[in-house]
Amino acid sequence: MREFRTQLQREYIKQRDLTADVMPAVNRFLVALEALCAEDPRFHLGSTKNLYLYAEDRLLSYVTVGKLTTPDPVLKFTPRPNVDLKEGTRFDPRGLLRRPLNQLVMKLDGYRAGWAKHKDIEGTFWFTANAPDKFFDATLDLIRTAVD
């Protein structure tokens, strides 16, 4: 198996750091993703302004942080990348465990509480600043099991 390394661009790091005050749970999640990649070589990140989350040679999710200056900042997970993937990696249409992530949101009542939205056809999820820490903790657990 080819060895991949996490590569984070300055523009992404700046965007991530801006979430600390506006979306602290999101900030902790993004920092935890970086730590996961440092601990487990099966996972790696790439970035421009946004984040590409990989497990080995496949893209798990394209993660964007947006609208930080509006009343409703969001974190978006989508299986569709915005630009080219890292060399040697591939698009995975299953993306970030679409069904388990949806089940997790439903278990935590995220749709009804309004901190989560989902487009079933595209497999895209949006999470607001009100998403609880326990959601992000459980999402990290889902990611860890993505290659098991």
CA dist list (Å): 20 to 63, 94, 110, 132 = 16, 30, 22, 15
Question: What's the pLDDT at 70?
Answer: 64
Mean pLDDT (whole number) for 58-85: 79
Residue-wise pLDDT for 4-35, tens only, equals 889 999 999 998 998 898 889 999 999 999 99
- Mean pLDDT score across all residues of the chain: 86
Question: What's the pLDDT at 94?
Answer: 65
Mean pLDDT (whole number) for 42-71: 85
Residue range 10-147, CATH number: 3.90.1150
Cβ atoms of 4 and 86 within 8 Å: the answer is yes
Question: What's the pLDDT at 116?
Answer: 94
pTM, 2 dp: 0.89
